[in-house]
Amino acid sequence: MPNHAPYDEPVWGSDVMVDVLRELDLPFIALNPGATFRGLHDSLVNYGGDDMPMIECPHEKIAVGLAHGYAKATGKPMAVILHDLVGLLQGTMGIYYAYIDRVPVLVLGGSGPAAHERRRPWFDWIHSANVQGEAVRNYTKWDHEPRSLVSMPDIMARAHRIATTAPQGPVYIALDAGLQEDRVETPIPVDEVARRALPPAPIGPDPAELRRLAEILCAAERPVMVLGYPGRDHDSFGHLVTLAELVGIGAIDTRYRLNFPNRHPLAVTDTNAIDDSDCVLFVDVKDMAKSTQSTDGVARQSVSRLRPGCRVLDLGFGDVGISAWSEDYSQLIPADCQVVADSSVALPLLVEECRRLLAEQSPARAALRQAWREDLGGRHDAVFARWAARAEAKADESPISTAKLAAAIWEVAREHDWVLTAGSASEWAYRLWDFDQPHRHPGRQLGTATQIGISLGVALAHKGTGRLVVDIQPDGDLMFDVGALWVASRYELPMLVVMFNNRAYYNDWEHQEKIADQRGTPVERAHIGMAISEPEPDFAAIAKGFGWYASGPVVDPSQVEAEVRKAAEHVLRTGLPALVDVVCQYR
């Protein structure tokens, strides 16, 4: 690679840091500029050349979100650099969601200088912290502050290894500004960094416990499986289909990753199959309660949907990596058999155990299993038929129905090799589209103010593949981070954004309606503090201001498909982003 500096060997401490980052083979570095990494910035530009392209972002949270989306789509981490304490604090929500979503991100931050005599008055003091990583320690896998250049290679290698060891997650390394700007007095070897940074082999299952789990599963008459994160390994998509067809298991996909083809007859997400099951297998699931409980959102009460005597099997990381702070693990459900293992290793072994056991089963048992397969297929067909009928009934409604929005986008996307970034138009994409390959969807969004950043990373990951990358973008989410549109334009990301624009923060609006109904207060006042109106943002005009192709607002349901098609053709022809603003119903 070209070296644009007038020297070939590291002269400054930040040059050594660049050598270490090179050894880690990081594809990109996202950042929002900051003076506490001015040395590293100069070394990346001039000593590092174009080895690790920088992605400049208008906000630290967007930078972390972009790295989050890239890692979800590729399985590989990229780096993010955050300006000292204040930049770290700006990026905290992005880091937290990367932690919740089990995504490897290498977060670097300028800090200090630690030596007080080297600090500028005021700024270097108010922007510095004693143990800076403590700000994110509760939701990173590891953090460190190297105190010498000699320690840098080992610390960075360890950080990369920890981030990429499953269950994966973000790490944070604070890079002292003084160390960055010190001259290199003696050579610092970095040739072992790549080898030290490699994660260990994934955790394998205990053979006896895996065999016991397979025996319980194969003895069940009406099994279902709940799928959390196994789809982070694309091979698991096929292993899970094989397991389902072999044993006759209904698949309920949480969609935190794309784990199972939604059009497969054994895909029974959003049916009542779990209520009638006699055995539930959780595969790499953190929250076992969400799929197995009915919840009264107003009363904040939940009731189990599991039948008395239903066997519970758990295959995944269990409490490995559990947080002492964030309660993302949810309610504990006792398991009859728990196998702690990485599902990427355990699933093919489980398939073979089940294959062996089923070969010995009687014809009567096989008949029972076949009856359950047919039952599951009927539930699958029925729920998809209901969704299709509902979408058809709402096709001409105005404002445009969410079902119509998803259906119109699908008519365009299905003609191409497509990827859906994060949002699903209130689940309607899952109901109407055909998720037939693991790369179609890296996983669902994590809530407001997360989607546009993640979508940028997904688009970056697929740049140059010729795939149509689609972001069904909620308006409330984009309002947090509208500057993110500049990133897609600046770095020519092939991204089709279709606005799911209901002109409201409707998730919270719906909660206010429920509370008003419960308390007898006026439901018609629930919109106060919720509506995105007076004025309504003109997202097409905003996007054009950032250099995008854009159209809308579209209010006629008959025009949605045509406008999406024109925008998609622009993306595929030019490799540049396009936006269509569609004004929709609330859900």
The owner of tokens 């972009």 is 66
The full set of domains in the chain, from first to last, is 13-197 (3.40.50.970), 207-383 (3.40.50.1220), 394-583 (3.40.50.970)
Q: How far apart are CA 534 and CA 513, in angstroms?
A: 21
Q: At what angle do helices 343-358 and 235-247 cross, to 10 degrees?
A: 20
The owner of tokens 């409201």 is 504
Residues making up the chain, counted from first to last: 587
User: Which pTM value belongs to this model?
Assistant: 0.95
Give the chain's residues under pLDDT 70.
1-6, 296-299, 506, 587
- In 208-299, DSSP assigns E strands to 223-227, 250-253, 279-283, 293-296
- Mapped onto helix, strand or coil, the DSSP state of residue 360 is coil
Angle at 267 between CA 264 and CA 270, to 5 degrees: 140
- Mapped onto helix, strand or coil, the DSSP state of residue 144 is strand
Half-sphere exposure of 243 (CA within 13 A, CB side): 32
Half-sphere exposure of 576 (CA within 13 A, CB side): 13
Q: How far apart are CA 508 and CA 270, in angstroms?
A: 22
- Mapped onto helix, strand or coil, the DSSP state of residue 342 is coil
> Per residue in 241-260, pLDDT tens?
999 999 999 999 999 999 99
Q: Supply the DSSP string of 486-519, one letter for each residue.
A: HHHHHTT--EEEEEEE-SB-HHHHHHHHHHHHHH
- By the 10 Å C-beta count (0-12 exposed, 13-18 middle, 19+ buried), 58 is classed as middle
Q: How far apart are CA 187 and CA 33, in angstroms?
A: 29
pLDDT of residue 177: 92
Q: How far apart are CA 337 and CA 411, in angstroms?
A: 44
Q: How far apart are CA 248 and CA 372, in angstroms?
A: 7
Beta bridge partners of 111: 176
Report CA dihedral (250, 254, 258, 260) to the nearest 10 degrees.
0
For 546-557, give one letter per residue: b (16+ CB within 10 A) or e: bebbbbbbbeeb
108, 90, 96, 101: which is closest to 30 by C-alpha? 108
- Mapped onto helix, strand or coil, the DSSP state of residue 14 is helix
pLDDT of residue 1: 43
pLDDT of residue 125: 85
Q: How far apart are CA 241 and CA 259, in angstroms?
A: 9
Say if CB 530 and CB 512 are below 8 A apart. Answer: yes
Report CA dihedral (284, 285, 291, 293) to the nearest 10 degrees.
140
> Per residue in 11-26, pLDDT tens?
999 999 999 999 999 9
Q: Which residues contact 177 (CB under 8 A, 6 or more apart)?
A: 35, 36, 37, 38, 39, 84, 110, 111, 112, 113, 118, 124
- By the 10 Å C-beta count (0-12 exposed, 13-18 middle, 19+ buried), 122 is classed as exposed
Write the CA distances from 84 to 35, 175, 585, integer angstroms: 8, 9, 43
435, 324, 399, 368: which is closest to 585 by C-alpha? 399
Say if CB 64 and CB 30 are below 8 A apart. Answer: yes
Q: How far apart are CA 135 and CA 131, in angstroms?
A: 8
pLDDT of residue 548: 98
